[in-house]
Amino acid sequence: MRLGWEDDDHTRRRECPVSEVRWQSGCWLFLVAGAGMTPIDSLLDLLSRRTGPAARVREWRVFWVSRESSRAGVKDRVRAGVHAPLTVGRSFALDYLIQWDDARISSGIAERVALAEPARLLEQAAEAAYEDPDGANFQGPVDAPETVLFSDESAREARSGGPGLFGPLIEAAASRADEWSFRTWSGSVSAIASEAGVATSRGLSLSSESTQVGYSFWYEGLTGDSHSSRTPIPAEEASARLERACGYVERLGSPEPDFAPGTMPVLLHPGVVDDLLSHFVMSNLHGERIYHRRGAFRIEQFRSAERVLSPALSIRLEPCAPMDPGSFRFTAEGVPARPLDYVSEGRLANPILDLKYARRLGREPVPGPASSDSLRLTGPEPAPSEDALRSVARGALVLSLLGLHTQDTTRGDFSVSAPQTIAIRAGSLGGAVKAVLTGNMFDVLRDAALTFVSFEGFRTPGLLFPGSVGVDSGG
């Protein structure tokens, strides 16, 4: 017997041999035979038979990801050398949650080699079982959005070493280095084809195919550009993005003379905004921190009239846009993706709740973002970056921060090194400043003077606000 199916767009048909068909947990389970078997099939087979250590299993969930990938690098101008070779590989990993007949649970991660002996894997999981009455949460059947995330062309590049993708992107980066007369540059290009799935003892069974291609190049060890997409990135697009980054590199190579510290307009690059939002806002939206009252927000504030941020500011999850790099169909627990607001016009709208903390807080589960690409920060109409610069007589453009992970997420205070900062003087960019940025992120996001700034090639806006800039005198 062979199992055949077509993709949603009916453009591809696949087949594989089937050794057995079994009714399990309200759905048909097809057991794939021989070489067609995936690493997870033997574990699912054992769980369905309920023999050996599986006989003690009350409920279970498995989430798995299979990847085929290619990667090529450049190290100090040397392309695909010993320090950054071309690699083509496959990987498989599984995350499991098991509740045993004594109500204890086990959770962990298993790779392909462990899945070759599923009985032994379950025995080891049982040995590590622990008490957590609220941790045994298993999603039943749900419908996930039919969001297209897969590119045939990107998948071919991932499986074959990137023959049509890597060369043009690396050449685009090399051309920028030559034109700007940079002494050294490094980076990498990658392509990934993934298949992910989640299944539970309650009959949930979801899977999703996706692709991702991306590059990251930097010059003179200072800065550069990173970009990702579901589909191959045209060399012309990469070249334009890298050209803009090279302008920053040149300025970072020349110190700004006589830069005076103090309070001044601070312009945060979109990459810095993403990092600050993740550290100070998104981390405080997680149900665990809210439930244990270890974060900045309380559950009572959600859906209340209280504004915690500027009334012009909203943060939205957008996980269902076709082929968007931040889109996804479901979480590792099987919670379907859906568009929603985390913050709406300054008010808290939805916390991020996995099944455990949704249960503890008596609410529906709420998916979190897959990455910063899943989020939309909106506010006042953004000013073009050129106009924003012209409005500043004396200020600083901040391209990156160091030590953000050490800052207090609950209070929002920060005092961080910003070595990749460019002075703004008389409406134009100047030279490099080894800056120290000090302030409070929640105050920044409540400031009536906060201005959104659009940067070409970036979805997240930059932020312009009155800030405190010091100078690092450590050398």
Please tell me the predicted confidence (pLDDT) of residue 473.
78
CA-CA distances (angstroms) from residue 346 to 146, 228, 341?
31, 30, 11
Decide if 9 contacts 149 (C-beta within 8 A): no
CA angle 266, 269, 275 (to 5 degrees): 105
Residue-by-residue DSSP string for 212-279: EEEEEEEETTTEEEEEEESSPPPHHHHHHHHHHHHHHHHHHTSBPTTPPPEEEEEEE-HHHHHHHIII
Residues 134 and 173: their CA atoms lie apart, in Å, by: 51
- Counting runs of H as helices and runs of E as strands, what totals does the chain give? 11, 21
Q: Look up tokens 């067609």; give the residue.
A: 36
Q: Which residues contact 3 (CB under 8 A, 6 or more apart)?
A: 15, 16, 17, 18, 30, 32
Q: Which two tokens stand for residue 179?
A: 């034109």
Please tell me the predicted confidence (pLDDT) of residue 82.
87
The closest of 344, 346, 349 to 303, measured between CA atoms, is: 349
CA angle 395, 222, 227 (to 5 degrees): 95
Q: Which two tokens stand for residue 147?
A: 């969001």
Please tell me the predicted confidence (pLDDT) of residue 29.
40
Please tell me the predicted confidence (pLDDT) of residue 5.
45
Q: Which domains does the chain have, with CATH numbers?
A: 38-237 (3.30.2290.10), 254-276+380-471 (no CATH), 281-378 (no CATH)
Q: Look up tokens 């049509």; give the residue.
A: 164
Bridge partners for 183 per DSSP:
none
CA-CA distances (angstroms) from residue 438 to 308, 404, 413, 472?
21, 12, 8, 12
* Residue spans of the chain under pLDDT 50: 1-36
Residues 409 and 449: their CA atoms lie apart, in Å, by: 23
Q: Look up tokens 């087979």; give the residue.
A: 45
Residues 310 and 201: their CA atoms lie apart, in Å, by: 45
Q: Which residues contact 158 (CB under 8 A, 6 or more apart)?
A: 68, 69, 70, 191, 192, 193, 211, 213
CA-CA distances (angstroms) from residue 215 to 35, 156, 170, 238, 372?
34, 17, 9, 9, 17
Mean pLDDT of the chain: 92
Please tell me the predicted confidence (pLDDT) of residue 39.
81
Residues 157 and 35: their CA atoms lie apart, in Å, by: 24
Residues 378 and 312: their CA atoms lie apart, in Å, by: 8
Please tell me the predicted confidence (pLDDT) of residue 303.
85
